[in-house]
Structure formats: structure tokens, C-alpha cells
């Protein structure tokens, strides 16, 4: 059987272990809360896509990150002269940028 000093030692070790566990859990919860806040901010944020080139409505479109080139071009309305073979319709956009739509009459300018 353990003596009273041994019990105190065991209790101190257990208390330290529980304290470390509690600190770890608090840090994990804080990180989770921070991640949820960042995720919510990302959903509410918008990026600016400046569409130029072979489109009817050349302007800046404010959209959510993760939008495809195809969905932006539905708003900008492609001209008949747009070189569809050079347009990456499935490309997903996450940052503000310029989107230059090439024409069949010109060389590829870039997207």
C-alpha cells in the first residue's frame, strides 16, 4: 500500500498531466475557432475579375473565390470571334486577376 507521501506524489503527477491535457485541448479549440472564422470570412469575401478581349461586356466582375471561368463568361457574353479552343472554361479562380479572352483573329494573349 502507498504511503501518504507517495499518494501526494501520484496526485501531483496526475494534476500536471491533467493540466497539460487541458492546455492542449484549449489550444486545439482556439485553432478550431480561428479556422471557422477564416472559413466564414473566405465565404463572404469576393474577388475582382477584369474580363477583356473577345466579350460583349468587358468590365470588372465581383465574384466569390472558387468560381469558374465558364460562369464568369456567361455574364460577360462571349463574342462569335472568341477562340473557344484557347479558353480554359473549367479553370477555377481564387484570386483577383485579369482574364483576357483571345480572339480567333489574334494570337493567344493569355489567361
> How many domains are contained in the chain?
2
Same domain, 60 and 15: no
Residue 58: the pLDDT is: 93
Q: Are residues 55 and 16 in the same domain?
A: no
Residue 59 shares a structural domain with residue 36: no
Rg of the chain on CA atoms, in Å: 28
Residue 35 lies in a domain: yes
Mean pLDDT of 84-106: 91
pLDDT, residue 6, reads 82
According to DSSP, the β-strands at 67-68 and 92-93 are antiparallel
Sequence-distant (≥ 6) Cβ neighbours of residue 97 within 8 angstroms: 47, 49, 50
Q: What pTM value is reported for the model? A: 0.57
Q: 39 and 73 in one domain? A: no
Q: Which residue has the higher pLDDT, 34 or 72?
A: 72
Residues 58, 26, single domain; the answer is: no
Q: What length does the chain have? A: 111
> Residue 92, SS3?
strand
Structural domain boundaries, residue 56: 47-101
Phi, psi for 11 (deg, rounded to 5): -65, -40
pLDDT, mean of residues 80-92: 94
Lowest-confidence range among 10-19, 43-52, 80-89, 102-111?
102-111
C-alpha–C-alpha distance, residues 84 and 75, integer Å:
16
Residue 87's closest CA among 59, 109, 65?
A: 109
pLDDT per residue as tens digits for the range 12-68? 899 999 888 888 877 777 776 666 666 666 666 889 999 999 999 999 999 988 899
CB 110 within 8 A of CB 90: no
Amino acid at each position: 500500500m502507498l504511503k501518504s507521501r507517495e499518494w501526494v506524489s501520484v496526485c501531483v503527477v496526475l494534476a500536471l498531466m491533467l493540466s497539460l491535457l487541458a492546455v492542449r485541448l484549449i489550444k486545439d479549440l482556439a485553432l478550431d475557432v480561428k479556422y471557422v472564422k477564416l472559413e466564414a470570412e473566405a465565404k463572404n469575401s469576393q474577388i475582382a475579375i477584369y474580363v477583356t478581349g473577345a466579350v460583349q461586356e468587358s468590365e470588372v466582375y465581383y465574384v466569390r473565390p472558387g468560381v469558374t471561368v465558364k460562369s464568369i463568361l456567361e455574364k460577360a457574353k462571349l463574342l462569335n470571334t472568341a477562340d473557344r479552343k484557347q479558353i480554359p472554361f473549367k479553370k477555377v479562380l481564387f484570386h483577383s486577376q485579369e482574364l483576357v479572352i483571345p480572339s480567333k483573329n489574334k494570337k493567344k494573349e493569355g489567361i
